[in-house]
Chains A and B, each alone.
Chain A
């Protein structure tokens, strides 16, 4: 049981390049989330998904796209990277609130450090 994994762990991009961050979870969770963490600002929600094939915008969605083609995977895409997207990105997953057996808790991956030059 690996929990939540993220690929890659580190990446350096040039302005305008594109890339995709992969998040995978093996806990059969319905909900998945992408956050970014910046110094002095805590974690901010970018996009989230409440099930396979669904996505929704969070607090800071601009410049990012996501897809949830499979229940266990949640992809975060940057089509044209900008220096303002330099950050640490965290993926998380959870069961829906009050679902049978749910701990009502998010499980986080180890993070991806992205630098955009």
Chain B
């Protein structure tokens, strides 16, 4: 079975600063995908960034980047130049190579302080 763990239920960061959200996962699969989703108060789930396990290069999307450590089964999200609109719940997710089933962590609530 796949499990995804987010050990930081809540975090806060000053506007314009950098923050890192942690995620670890457990799997026996070798090929898989990892995602970070953002859920603002509107409740809609929004894809932030994704990483293919077979790629060694860390994914980046503008102010968002990941630190993917496959051997350690770690997938952290770094948000640079934090903005007020980044305030949201962030979910780490794992998807197996076959079946398209997602497994989600319990989320980290991030607050950006003006």
User: Interface size of A by Cβ–Cβ distance < 8 Å?
Assistant: 26
Which residues 44-80 in B have Cβ within 8 Å of A in the complex? 44-47, 50, 52
A-facing residues in B70-114 (Cβ within 8 Å): 91, 95, 97-98, 100-102, 104-107
What's the Cα separation between A109 and B35 when bound, in Å?
17
Tell me the bound Cα distance from A33 to B93 in angstroms.
Answer: 15
Contact B50 A104 (CB under 8 A): yes
> Are A33 and B44 neighbours in the complex by a CB distance under 8 Å?
no
- Distance from A113 Cβ to chain B, minimum over Cβ atoms (Å): 8
Question: Given A104-B50, A105-B50, A111-B44, are A97 and B105 also a contact pair (CB < 8 Å)?
Answer: no
- Which residue of chain B is the closest to A106 with respect to CB atoms? B102
Residues on the A chain within 8 Å of B107, using CB: 42
Residue in contact with A104 in the complex, picked from B95, B105, B106, CB distance below 8 Å = B95
Q: Given the complex of chains A and B, what is the CA–CA distance between A110 and B43 in angstroms?
A: 6
Smallest CB gap from A110: residue in B? B44
The answer to whether A92 and B45 touch across the interface, beta carbons within 8 angstroms, is: yes
The chain A residues found within 8 Å of chain B, CB to CB, are 31, 33, 35, 40-45, 48, 50, 58, 88, 90, 92, 94, 96-97, 104-111
The contact sample of 26 A-B pairs, CB cut-off 8 A, is A31-B100, A35-B104, A42-B4, A42-B104, A42-B106, A43-B91, A43-B104, A48-B101, A88-B43, A92-B45, A94-B100, A97-B33, A97-B95, A97-B97, A97-B100, A104-B33, A104-B52, A105-B47, A106-B47, A106-B102, A107-B47, A108-B37, A110-B42, A110-B44, A111-B43, A111-B44
A-B residue pairs, 3 tightest by C-beta:
A108-B45, A42-B104, A43-B104
